[in-house]
């Protein structure tokens, strides 16, 4: 078995060497990196994955995150977002549009970025989400540091042969990077436990909001709001079952369930609809609505539910609920407790009866609802503001301050300078 493992590994190395030599003949000369003055702004390329257009219509959570990070950055005017051809961008920044790409052509992406770096100048490349693409871009642009920006758990190291061979490839790809950002402390801890041999700079850079755009209503509608992808792991069916039971005994309450990607899981979406059928006149099922409408629902709903059954990497919907001023019922999995702290009612389990019970308790206690709404709104405005000073006496840096400083440190390291401050290291 050991001989087979060694032979397979040797074959992989030979194939990768042949590919690297072939790619090198396609590469244009190395340009794009200029002498860095650490007192000046950093020129950044933000690279979005395939099928992402950085447009106002049907923007994904990744695109929304990037728009917020770029929009609040000190380096906004020096940032170029690379995205597929689309309509008006989410935020007014430089956007490089390219044609939709097929799978397996990340080397073409890397070459185009190399050409644009030579033309525009670039100090740092940030690649969203995809390890293989980030590593390929780093190989083709070895004179520019590359940060991988993750929005989920980094894939876990395999423990069984022959999948363990892939660990070598993933580890090699990760080591090629100048740094990595993790969306929550939960994902950072998971990364450290799964890839102890990868010692690259890292930082937690979570979702954040410009809270000036949020206007929570003082007088709340007796409305229960649930927002999420139409997948079993999000617990939306259990939420629908609990809501239906609750509404049967509470005629003065209504509910709105907002599904995304409902068309990708029609059977599950239909099961949710069937669960709500007994109370269909007071339980609205929505799909594909603009983000502005989701925000408006958050700003007037009395209660929001985030019933995720899996370990959420972060849980943007919980942040939205607090931002809008709703009292939150949460499963508390993964990164959800990082968002809410003590400002939520946590489910004892994710099922219909537990959700019904939590709704009955919270609906009957208006003082508790108002207390949770206030403390949750204050908490996220302190910890998750995208930019600007904190309204709290605690000196908590904004999301963009953390990201900007991490970017500066990664660039400094690539030039042989020490980082400006501690942080962002393994």
Read off the pLDDT band of 301 (50, 70, 90): very high
Q: Which of the two residues, 160 and 347, has the higher pLDDT score?
A: 347
Q: Which of the two residues, 390 and 155, has the higher pLDDT score?
A: 155
Could you give all domains of the chain from N- to C-terminal order, each with its CATH number?
Answer: 29-204 (3.40.50.2000), 211-383 (3.40.50.2000)
The predicted structure's pLDDT at residue 283? 98
pTM: 0.82
The residue among 362, 380, 367, 279 whose CA lies nearest residue 321 is: 380
The predicted structure's pLDDT at residue 392? 60
The predicted structure's pLDDT at residue 188? 97
pLDDT tens track for 360-397:
999 999 999 999 999 999 999 999 999 987 666 566 89
Residue 7 has pLDDT above 90, yes or no: no
Mean pLDDT of 33-41: 56
Q: Rounded to an integer, what distance in angstroms lies between the CA atom of residue 252 and that of residue 247? A: 8
Q: Rounded to an integer, what distance in angstroms lies between the CA atom of residue 82 and that of residue 328? A: 36
pLDDT tens track for 225-266:
999 999 999 999 999 999 999 999 999 999 999 998 899 999
Residue 40 has pLDDT above 70, yes or no: no
The predicted structure's pLDDT at residue 161? 82
Q: Rounded to an integer, what distance in angstroms lies between the CA atom of residue 193 and that of residue 195? A: 6
Read off the pLDDT band of 63 (50, 70, 90): confident
Structure-block tokens of residue 32: 């794009």
């Amino acid at each position: 078995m050991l001989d087979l493992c060694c032979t397979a590994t040797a074959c992989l190395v030979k194939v990768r060497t042949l590919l690297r030599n072939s790619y090198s003949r396609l590469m244009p000369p190395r340009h794009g990196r200029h002498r860095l003055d650490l007192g000046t702004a950093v020129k950044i390329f933000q690279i979005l994955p395939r099928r992402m257009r950085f447009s106002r219509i049907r923007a994904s959570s990744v695109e929304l995150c990037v728009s917020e990070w770029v929009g609040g950055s000190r380096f906004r005017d020096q940032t170029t977002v690379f995205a597929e051809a689309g309509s008006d961008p989410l935020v007014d920044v430089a956007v490089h549009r390219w044609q939709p790409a097929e799978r397996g052509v990340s080397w073409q992406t890397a070459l185009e970025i190399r050409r644009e770096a030579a033309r525009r100048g670039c100090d740092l490349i940030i690649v969203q989400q995809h390890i293989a693409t980030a590593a390929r871009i780093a190989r083709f642009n070895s004179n520019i540091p590359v940060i991988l920006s993750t929005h989920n758990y980094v894939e876990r190291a395999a423990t069984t042969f022959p999948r363990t061979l892939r660990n070598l490839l993933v580890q090699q790809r990760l080591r090629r990077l100048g740094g990595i950002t993790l969306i929550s402390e939960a994902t950072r801890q998971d990364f450290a436990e799964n890839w102890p041999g990868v010692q690259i700079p890292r930082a937690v850079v979570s979702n954040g909001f410009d809270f000036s755009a949020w206007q929570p209503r003082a007088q709340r509608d007796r409305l229960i709001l649930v927002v999420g992808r139409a997948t079993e792991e999000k617990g939306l069916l259990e939420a629908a079952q609990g809501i239906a039971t609750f509404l049967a005994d509470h005629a003065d309450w209504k509910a709105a369930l907002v599904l995304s990607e409902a068309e990708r899981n029609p059977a599950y979406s239909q099961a949710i609809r069937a669960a709500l059928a007994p109370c269909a006149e007071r339980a609205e099922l929505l799909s594909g609505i603009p983000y502005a409408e989701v925000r408006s629902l958050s700003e007037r709903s009395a209660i929001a539910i985030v019933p995720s059954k899996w370990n959420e990497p972060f849980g943007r919907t919980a942040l939205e609920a607090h931002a809008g001023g709703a009292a939150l019922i949460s499963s508390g999995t993964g990164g959800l407790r990082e968002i809410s702290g003590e400002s939520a009612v946590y489910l004892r389990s994710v099922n219909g009866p537990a959700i019904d019970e939590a709704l009955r308790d919270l609906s009957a206690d208006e003082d508790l609802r108002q207390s949770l709404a206030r403390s949750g709104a204050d908490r996220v405005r302190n910890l998750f503001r995208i930019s600007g000073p904190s309204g709290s006496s605690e000196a908590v840096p904004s999301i963009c301050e953390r990201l900007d400083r991490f970017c500066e440190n990664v660039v400094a390291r690539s030039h042989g300078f020490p980082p400006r401050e501690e942080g962002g290291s393994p």
